[in-house]
Amino acid sequence: MSAQESRLAQRSGPDARVRPGVLWSFTALTFLAVLLDGFDTVSLAFSLPEMAAGWHVSPADFSLALVLTNLGAVAGYVLSGWLSTVLGPKRFLLLGVAWYGLFTLMVAATLPMHSIPLLAGLRFVTGLGLGAVLPVAIALGSAHAPARLRERVAVLTTLGLAVGATVGGFVGGSLISSLGARGVFWVAGALPFVVAGALMLHPMPNALPADAVADAAVRRREAAVSQLFTPRLRVFTAVLWVFAFVAFLTTYIINSWVPSLLKDYGFTAVQAPLGIAMYNLGGILGTLVLVLLSTRLGTARTQVVTSCFGIAALAVLGVAQLTHAGVLVALLIAGAGTITNGNGQMAVATTLYPTGARATGIGWNAAVGRVGSIVAPAVGGVLIAASFGARPILLIAAVPVVVALACAAFLGFRRPAPADR
């Protein structure tokens, strides 16, 4: 840790970790890092129609690449708590951003080989970096935030995933038309290095606050997975993990396959990325509502309400005859009701776990969620290969939202007292 970083950490008390300007500028940078994570994640999804046509294969043949991207992210999440303790959270965050940028560039370089196994392998390695970024960004930012702002910092950072996917949806058609699928990956791989450079220069300490943990031995003990299953926390950790799994399951079924599914509604390959854009734009709007209402109702209780909108919108998509505009509006509402589950349960984890266990708690919670994101493309691919249409698939996607609603209700009304630190 530099002398400047040491002064920043020592100056702060337990409830005001760094100056507000340092905290919020760091939150802005981590938001951008997670935004590019979200963009990278959907870049393959909205490139699939063109790649499938050019490679003369079915979109379902790319299921392995979608699944392995998320499997790599799971591994990144699981390792994030331990590695951030070894390397320091800020240094590990910077490494994760540079990592996913580098291997996305390698995807772009090798795409002309038309090799699905090679693409899948590179996407797995890319996923390691994608998974490393989010939990450490949330843990470091929230640890340096006053207690009253921790959920807000977590939600705003996580919001980057939906914003990145939304940006990808809106510009995806133009990028495909002008640059092709390969150009999409060149762009997605170059931008993370800009953010990594800014993080390198930022004065946020490469450590948790000085008063949060005592020494290396304490840090390792508090970062152990067993701390998530103390008598006070074990039931709530289990419910939170179920919540994460079903939240990511729905989101990734839609984000992975909606460009392909929208053909059933009459959308062209160039128009189809708008489905991702509207779905994730709804996630942004829903998350902003979550931020506003969480101070009054609490994050989990607000998610009970938003989940109802998600269930209703997916049911309409599954049974109603809609115009193109109607489909996009329904996807907007569905995003507001489902993506907020993924964003909000991360925020719940920041107040559920004490500071030393927070990166581990967030990382394992995100990892379990990403298991849902591994299952989701596979389920979608199987259903598409079995000639299920878009409407029954979207109806099936509503079932996990019902489970998410029940988990949110449990956490909202039966959560333990906030962690001591």
Does 191 have pLDDT greater than 90?
A: yes
pLDDT at 4: 41
User: Mean pLDDT throughout 385-390?
Assistant: 78
197 CB neighbour count, 10 Å cutoff: 13
> Does position 211 have pLDDT exceeding 50, yes or no?
no
The span from the CA of 106 to the CA of 190, in Å, is 11
Band the pLDDT of 391: cuts 50, 70, 90.
confident
Looking at 56-115, list the stretches that DSSP marks H as alpha helix, in order from N- to C-terminal side: 63-87, 89-110
Task: Give 321's contacts (C-beta < 8 A, 6+ positions apart).
Answer: none
In single-letter form, the type of residue at position 76 comes to: G
Contact between residue 159 and residue 147 where contact means Cβ atoms under 8 Å apart: no
Q: Is the pLDDT assigned to residue 276 strictly greater than 90?
A: no
Instruction: State percent of the chain over pLDDT 90.
Output: 22
Q: Please, what are the domains in the chain? A: 3-414 (1.20.1250.20)
The pTM of the whole model exceeds 0.85 = no
- Give the pLDDT of residue 11: 42
Q: Band of the pLDDT at 125, cuts 50, 70, 90?
A: very high
For residue 332, pLDDT beyond 90: yes
C-beta neighbour count of 392 within 10 angstroms: 12
The average pLDDT across 143-166 equals 79
